[in-house]
Amino acid sequence: MPAAAEPSSRLLAESLLAFWADAGVDAMLLEEAIDRIEAGRFVPPPPPARAAATVSPIRPAAQGQPDISAAVAQAQALAAGAETLDQLAEAIAGFEGCPLRFEGATRAVFYRGRADAPLMVIGEGPGADEDRQGAPFVGRAGQLLDRMLAAAGLTDRVFITNTVFWRPPGNRTPTPAEQMICAPFVERAIALVKPKMLLLVGGASAKSMLKREEGILSLRGRWFEWRSADSALELPAMPTLHPAFLLRQPGAKKRAWTDLLTLTERLDRPHRPD
């Protein structure tokens, strides 16, 4: 009887990967940890003039540690050239400067909601459901967020996005460097949507948007002034607890609800001209 053919190494690898995927493993980590915070320390370049049109190519992040200041400069130029949300979405989808794009994310996840919303909700970064569906906050945490927004009468009054646009592997928190690289796109979205205020969902969003070091339990429920990098834009911003945290700690829902009511009261306050 002829001996059975040995399975090729490709088949063996595919079968092993399918086994891991079935077991819920959806990210591969390196043997040696990378200190991404240290790798990300740099002085951001000054924001470019609005008209800056030329975008020089940067070293692709896939080839190793990215050149973060070049990535930020490229994001700034691309964002400045976007005159509409559609153009901004296209610029983000074509941007190769964020390392997350090459770490297992299948697509860029930009926003959902109204393009002229009075409230912009900014979360941390897309998770597995968001990566699959291409829209932010569509998983369990997003469903809780939607229920809270609905209860506060905010359903059709929000634009929802994140500090980064690609799913961090294994749903880890985005690093400050990744958030810095994506920040010019977030700022441009704020400039185009022109919301009256920001709701910053979760510690990683609040710290990055407000450049604060305190934890979310100390930041939440307080008003801060968010400022764009060139200080041309200023908006009131309130940090609150992340709905994923609320799913794990339902006892904290009362605090998030209080934050949302405080924010809604200000949003609905009649504007009195000086």
Among the listed residues 72, 99, 121, 124, the single contact to ligand URA using CB under 6 A: 124
The answer to whether residue 126 forms part of the interface with ligand URA (CB under 6 A) is yes
Number of H helices, E strands in the chain: 11, 6
> What minimum distance in Å lies between the beta carbon of 106 and ligand URA?
14
162 interacts with ligand URA by CB under 6 A? yes
The token pair that represents 201 in the structure block: 């969902």
Nearest-angstrom CA–CA distance, 1 and 205: 65
Question: Which residue among 81, 99, 113, 125 contacts ligand URA (CB under 6 A)?
Answer: 125
Q: How far is the CB of 165 from ligand URA (least distance, A)?
A: 10
Binding residue for ligand URA, selected from 80, 119, 120, 141, defined by CB under 6 A: 141
- Going residue by residue from 220 to 259, which x/- string records binding to ligand URA, judged by CB under 6 A? ------------------------x---------------
Smallest separation, CB 140 to ligand URA (Å): 9
Q: C-alpha dihedral over 70, 208, 210, 144, to 10 degrees?
A: 140
Smallest distance from ligand URA to CB 126, Å? 5
| CB neighbour class for 54 (10 Å; exposed up to 12, middle 13-18, buried from 19) | exposed
Residue ranges of alpha helices (H) inside the chain are: 9-22, 36-39, 68-80, 85-94, 128-133, 140-151, 176-193, 203-210, 216-219, 243-248, 253-267
Residues forming the site for ligand URA (CB under 6 A): 123-127, 130, 136-137, 139, 141-142, 162, 202, 244
